[in-house]
Structure 1
Amino acid sequence: MPMQSRRLFLSSLAAGLLLPFPTAVALPVDPTSPDLPRVTALIKDAIRRHRLDGVAAIAHQGERVLYRGYFGDIGPGTAIDVASASKWVAGLVIMALVGQGRLRLDMTLADAGLVSTGPKAGITLAQLMSHTSALPDTGPFWQDRRYPTPQAAAAKLTDMDLIGEPGQVFAYAGVSMEVAAFMAEQAGGADWNSLFRRLIADPLGLSPACRWGDRWGVAGGLIASPDDFERILLLIARQGVMADGQRLLPADIFPVMEHDQIGDARRKQQPNAAAAMQGYGIGMWCEQREAGGACPTISSPGYFGTWPRIDRSRDLTILLMVKSRLRTVIDDWQAIIQALSSAAAPG
């Protein structure tokens, strides 16, 4: 389907101009998308057992659509809170500025003029974006009250107590990314959402609804539709090249972004679902980690059930979205990922 026709179709869906489709019936947007019976059956079963309102499941192998289905009340233009899947997109914004030379991953809080002395002064941007900074591991709800904006987090740096030695402790949280976002705002000369629109969203043609909201900070507050997140994920899969073949981001930022930053750091705090993850890069989990630290399989599951994933060894990109809780659907999601991986051509 030509891109212009597909966009018209997506717009019609988003505007409600098409008749509603029955719950648990896949609506293939792209006619080249096959219906993989095993995947469809797993999705329908998850919807039935968990009484889900809807699911979006999208997979590409290279430039080939492996699967694209929308079920229930989730269509391509449905705006969804993606929770911690935001972290990967936040990492992309940071790396876009690194690619422009406006930021460096080894830039410290002292370099940024935020802290002048003490152990916090040596905290790097890479540590902020990989949860190894030892800044407080405050949960999203307390974070909203204490550090509601990147500027508020940066302003209170001197009052924060470290939870360990920077670089030696891993604690999955959002405060450190708020500080990193303030460094980005300083370097980019605009607020976070404006940077996102300028660097990523507008060039990709993302919907106006795709933005960070007022809750859960940079690490958890992105709102995106399946179509929005699919475009973002494919940009990452193509290492900075857009669907029309134009390069948006330099290719050399992606191996750096997709390199484990935890190393031997002690894991102090992380979600239960992350127990099997082998590392963490700049804004995303390393599901697999090679001996040198490269991460061939990367993902960023969110609390509300969005799970974006790239398996570079298979050139396989998977996006699952739902309005639920990850702990409810995680076993189903892993089964769907396995089924899609089995349907893909060998890497």
Structure 2
Amino acid sequence: MKTLFVSLLLLATTYSYCQYDFSKLDDWMEDNTAKMGGRAYLILYKDGKIVYSHSANEMSRRQKLVGRVLARRQGKTADTEDYTVSSKQPIASCSKWLSAALVMTFVDEGKLSLSDTVGRFLPALSASGKGNITISECLSHTTGIKPPPLKESLEDMRGMNSMDDAINAIAALPMEGEHGKVFHYSNAGLQIAGAVIEKISGKSFGQLFAERIAQPLHMKHSDFGTGKVALPAGGANSTPEDYTNFLVMILNKGVFNGKRILSENSITEMQANRVTKDVRVAYAPAEAGDFGYGFGEWVMEKNSAGQSVAVTSPGLFGSFPWIDNDRKYTGFLMTFYLKNDGRNERYKDLKKQVDKCLK
């Protein structure tokens, strides 16, 4: 199957290079890769096929040295080879899109409603006065909960022994405003939503992701790790090939290879901007710029009617997945770096270059 995919990828890319002029996009990759950790891979899908697949490697001696040091600390061997369609990396907040889709499968089945309050499933949150937060608010970062800084939050979650421990820790956090009225981009809401679907199903979050998203989408190399507690907001690992399959499903209104994974209504709900004028933004990462937010994804562009044209869910390490609903294509840029200066402008510029190529 892997050999067949690679063969089809090569054939499709060769054909598409004849159909489109990607020379400016090649130049963009070469010009920007050094600023994005030294390695990057960009894959584009349109009209039922991969139309662009390009890997760039501009790693400096310093970047290679840092990579070796970090790998040594983790007891691993440093990887400085070119990214490929099957390169597997932690994707940080790109995970949020996957997790929101997973929660929406329960909504589609009628086992959960977006208006359900979390106290119905998680008594610890009711006991701390947070029981009236809704599933919709969990998916859109409008719980009103004030989380600790990201690094501290991740360290705390990784130290948990169970999902119940994670929820007890979130229950103890202060509120910074009324739920539904404050937007704070964080891990808390999706962690709560993840705990809810575990309670409903009696299965672990990782198992649910494998059964409901990864397997039907042929995402054979995607998972949420092996830790004691899954991190729905940022704990996934994936590959360009796998994540593209997910994006194709979203682009096709919930259908992949003729099989419905999500309802069209769920796709619409996920892409509806929840950061309206009556919602105060307490925190949004700089790389998000002026984007709106739906369920697990940023609204990057809207049309005159306010409908989502382009949606995305970039991660802390720089990977950038997106969908353009008007031009009917998907894109996934895999990178791994932490310096986020100029990322929002870089994302917009990359999309602009792709839009020109695919016009």
Which interval holds the TM-score relative to the shorter structure? 0.7 to 0.9
Contact preservation (8 Å) 2:13, 2:52: no
1:212: Cα distance to partner? 3.8
**2:290 aligned with 1:276, yes or no?**
yes
Amino acid at match of 2:94: A
- Equivalent of residue 57 in structure 1, options 39, 42, 66: 42
The aligned counterpart of 1:20 is: none
- Equivalent of residue 142 in structure 2, options 132, 136, 145: 132
Contact preservation (8 Å) 1:169, 1:266: yes
Is 122-131 or 332-341 further displaced after alignment? 332-341
* 1:86-116 Cα shifts (integer Å, max 9, x gaps): 1111111111111111211111022224333
Amino acid at match of 1:7: F
Is 174-183 or 215-224 further displaced after alignment? 215-224
The aligned counterpart of 2:245 is: 231
Distance 1:200 1:298 in 2: 19
Distance 2:176 2:221 in 1: 38
Q: Secondary structure at the match of 1:298?
A: strand
Amino acid at match of 1:45: D
The 5 A counterparts of 1:1-347 are 5-7=3-5, 30-34=13-17, 36-47=22-33, 49-50=34-35, 52-72=37-57, 73-114=82-123, 115-116=125-126, 119-148=129-158, 150-212=163-225, 214=227, 217-242=231-256, 244-263=257-276, 264-277=278-291, 279-289=292-302, 294-325=307-338, 327-328=340-341, 330=343, 331-345=345-359
CA gap of 1:95–1:221, structure 2 versus 1, over 3 A, is: same
Contact preservation (8 Å) 2:313, 2:321: yes
Contact preservation (8 Å) 2:197, 2:205: yes
Distance 2:88 2:269 in 1: 30
Distance 1:336 1:139 in 2: 29
Amino acid at match of 2:133: I
Q: Secondary structure at the match of 1:239?
A: coil
Contact preservation (8 Å) 2:36, 2:335: no
Is 30-39 or 220-229 further displaced after alignment? 30-39
- Compute the RMSD of aligned alpha carbons: 2.6
* 1:268-289 Cα shifts (integer Å, max 9, x gaps): 1111111221x21010111134
CA gap of 1:236–1:74, structure 2 versus 1, over 3 A, is: same
Normalising to structure 2: TM-score of the pair?
0.82
Q: Secondary structure at the match of 2:146?
A: coil
1:168: Cα distance to partner? 0.9
Is 281-290 or 267-276 further displaced after alignment? 281-290
CA gap of 1:290–1:267, structure 2 versus 1, over 3 A, is: farther
Distance 2:166 2:54 in 1: 40
1:69: Cα distance to partner? 1.6
Distance 2:36 2:155 in 1: 33
Amino acid at match of 1:254: I
Amino acid at match of 1:44: E
How many residues are paired up? Answer: 325
